[in-house]
Chains A and B, each alone.
Chain A
């Protein structure tokens, strides 16, 4: 699709069971920011059944208008019906930008839509910017995070991107007014792809150390079995696993199987937090591939700080209780 006469930023409002995926709100926040630079409008697109009540939420989080396709054929999510609806809407409304979350659904849907309307798409963006001409610059990691590329889509519209959940900030919701428009859907009743037999959601179980997205590890500096509980509690509120260096195992605070490093496990979580860990090499080799590393140690010269993204030189006892409380408040909100 060519770029003339396109405008507006579209956000795909992903939902399952009439529950919005968090990334939707984050995308609205970002879209609002981008629109502010360019005086554009933010439109949320929501597909499903019985989802009209969510439209107001989308306005409150930053959409100027919402397109609602409420139809039994759109529930539950299926790739082909969703792609067909997006094709119709894009051809009718000509958005300048279309953003989706890099979720299981978005990662499957966005490329299909982009191919259908023959436009460009960038994947798993961690940042979005507008250049001086108002073109969308899409910042994407590649090569396991070792390379950061900036992608543009100069001649095709819409400019499409999927965005990593958690990388953008939602706005604080406020009561806002906007247009909520219902769309008529006329899909053929065959050739709509695979049939959904069953959808099963399960509470995420405690994952083994090597597979956990978050690892909170404690070292000798934790000091006592009593304080070790804070390490476990932090891991708990983050939905992560507890790791350890050798001394806490010797002290009986932690189990042998929780040990990270040369003689233990190698972990590569999204977030590693090290509490009271000095950072000797045989521990570091087991965690230095973690995506993000936050460490807390009262010793300003701790070696672990060499392998950290975020450094806190402080007694963890002053930090952890407050941190646990804050996170718990957020998660339960």
Chain B
């Protein structure tokens, strides 16, 4: 395999989510002062890419759509071992939903040109939509597999993949090129080696705007996104403290309904 693209999203560090507040006028979240980290599952995707490269050679590219201030976070991915990074950044990208984001990432992949494999995390911790990987594949007209918990190369252009499903798994054989979204069971991401931090300082982060990508602006950004935000509410993990009263039978009935509503039974 010659080239692997790893989609990486810089996300707000969940350890600081208690600092999130809401701007009620613009109906957006204010996340000032919250540090940015690599989306945790994307590290598993990167680890998978790095171990394939380390065993078979080739190159690992990070691909990210984000504002320019995230470059230190991309640099962390380079320090883990990726060879270079491409940051897709343009004010016209702002407010993109998953489909619009997939259009932008697809344009990034096409700009890169030849590649054999695209790896993504199954979902991000902030939006948690788990949609971009499949949509990117569709827009690139490539096959895709989600929920991947095992992955290895069988032949040069053939992968053996294990996909998790309810109470079990599916084993698949897939030809490259392909888009794969991974779960954390897949591997344990390496720690950033200090030598990698030094090496990353001279690695390239290529910033591309829509001037280079030429995406139809009707497909991207707030305007181009088919889904729109109709309301936003901060719950701040408050507990409901709902007291259930009545006869034991009545209480049991309420509890059973609740447990069912939680999706347990």
- B14 close to A194 (CB less than 8 A): no
Distance of A210 from chain B, by nearest CB (Å): 13
- A194 close to B161 (CB less than 8 A): yes
What residues of B have a CB within 8 angstroms of the CB of A111 in the complex?
98, 129-135, 138
Q: Does B199 contact A (CB under 8 A)?
A: no
- A167 close to B261 (CB less than 8 A): yes
One of B130, B229, B254, B261 near A107 (C-beta < 8 A): B130
Residues of B within 8 A of A (CB): 14, 17, 20, 29, 97-99, 102, 125-135, 137-139, 143-147, 160-161, 163-175, 178, 225-237, 239-245, 248-249, 251-256, 258-265
What residues of B have a CB within 8 angstroms of the CB of A312 in the complex?
243-244, 251, 255
Interface centre among B129, B255, B258, B259 (most CB of A within 10 A): B259
Q: List 9 A–B pairs whose Cβ atoms lie within 8 Å, in order of A's numbering.
A: A16-B165, A104-B147, A111-B132, A114-B131, A143-B17, A193-B144, A196-B171, A200-B169, A311-B241
Query: In terms of DSSP, what is the predominant structure of the interface of chain B?
Result: mixed
Q: Which of A37-45, A55-63, A149-157, A221-229 contacts B (4 or more CB under 8 A)?
A: A149-157
Q: In chain A, residues 287-333, which have Cβ atoms closer than 8 Å to a Cβ of chain B? A: 291-294, 305-314, 318-319, 322-323, 326-327, 330-331
- B240 close to A310 (CB less than 8 A): yes
Q: Does A103 contact B (CB under 8 A)?
A: yes
**In the bound complex, what is the Cα–Cα distance between A313 and B259 (angstroms)?**
18
- B265 close to A330 (CB less than 8 A): yes
Query: In terms of DSSP, what is the predominant structure of the interface of chain A?
Result: mixed
What residues of B have a CB within 8 angstroms of the CB of A169 in the complex?
261
Q: Does A53 contact B (CB under 8 A)?
A: no
- Sorted nearest first, the 6 A-B pairs with minimum C-beta distance are A166-B263, A120-B226, A194-B174, A120-B227, A150-B231, A193-B143
Q: Does A146 contact B (CB under 8 A)?
A: yes
Q: In chain A, residues 11-31, which have Cβ atoms closer than 8 Å to a Cβ of chain B? A: 16, 21
- B252 close to A319 (CB less than 8 A): yes
Distance of A122 from chain B, by nearest CB (Å): 6
Q: In chain A, residues 114-136, which have Cβ atoms closer than 8 Å to a Cβ of chain B? A: 114-116, 118-124, 131
One of B171, B233, B240 near A309 (C-beta < 8 A): B240
One of A194, A197, A306 near B239 (C-beta < 8 A): A306
Interface centre among B241, B253, B254 (most CB of A within 10 A): B241
